Structure 1
């Protein structure tokens, strides 16, 4: 067994291993040109703060003057009224004249006339029901018969009278309709009977033609149903034709 001792060498372990592949370059971030224009056009606004750390003092000549207190100061206007031409004269006050005399009224006489014409208040009848003098009004107490003395006592109320009238009108309408009721049975004339017979025969011819055009072989259920249905319709039409031909007088119900 032989041992090889290498003392001097220039190998490095980091150069032996393969280096990882370099990362691909990132795509540049999208920047809108409009955003740059907006930032350039944007007007800087004042920032709101909590105020000054120390309140700045005013200039000495800006002291509080008369009329500049808490009240609203008067707005100064630069408007000047320029008169063009001659203005009309200022109207003068009318000369002082005598005041119109007020009519002299005798209020004593008026009050006496009003008192004479006024009617005295009617005394409300009362009832004393105890020895201590307890009183109560007779009206509404039930001591005097009031309800039986009314004009409408014992008469039917107005709402019941109107209701009975409405019911009676409806009954009269029903009775009149029943008396003048037309008969639902109507006799058709000969022309209408012949026209009906003609239409029935025409329908039978159309149905007979369609029945003859059916396939001879009925191997499916829909074909069987269709053929059976057409046979029933033909039989019914034949019965109707025979009934109209055998009966000269035919009545119909509307």
Structure 2
């Protein structure tokens, strides 16, 4: 009780006070309410009865009888009426008619070669199949007219190489006749090739020792000069390795 605080006493609190009544705003009513009420009454009034009011009551005599919905065959006058409608059996002395073909010759169909099944390819686990001819698995290209022929651009390249070789041979022959060229022996060719490879190894070792950062013009120029020299050596090595016969000018 120590925490409870009494309100301050005052004489004015004994005076009666007037009750203040707060007026509530009018309740919201939609302008479509009368239309909705009329529609609801019209639908409810139409469905108040269980089904239509005027329904023809079925007669108690018209009930579903046994076997009434089964199809019945027309009654025949005699049990042999169906057999009497067929033509009589011809005698043994009559000759059969020859050359008559029906729509389907059963004997020919039975003795003919059976149809071969169409080859198909199944490409999914669910059994989706398509004709094998359209699947791309048949090597149709082997039936082409020009299958296996050398392409025209390769024939042209071979002819150009043969022409260039022929011209080179003629040039070498003319120079040899003049005495301006001599054949490079295989020993000297191998020695030159080994020397070019040694020079390339030396330049490559020096190139590997360059710093990773080329921050000055001197480093950049030195790196470019090494790359150019290595590239020139590589072209010379490939040229000597490709041609076995080399002619040089006489000193």
Q: TM-score, normalised by structure 1?
A: 0.28
Q: TM-score, normalised by structure 2?
A: 0.28
Q: Which has the higher Rg, Structure 1 or Structure 2?
A: 1
Question: Going by fraction, where is helix more abundant, 1 or 2?
Answer: 2
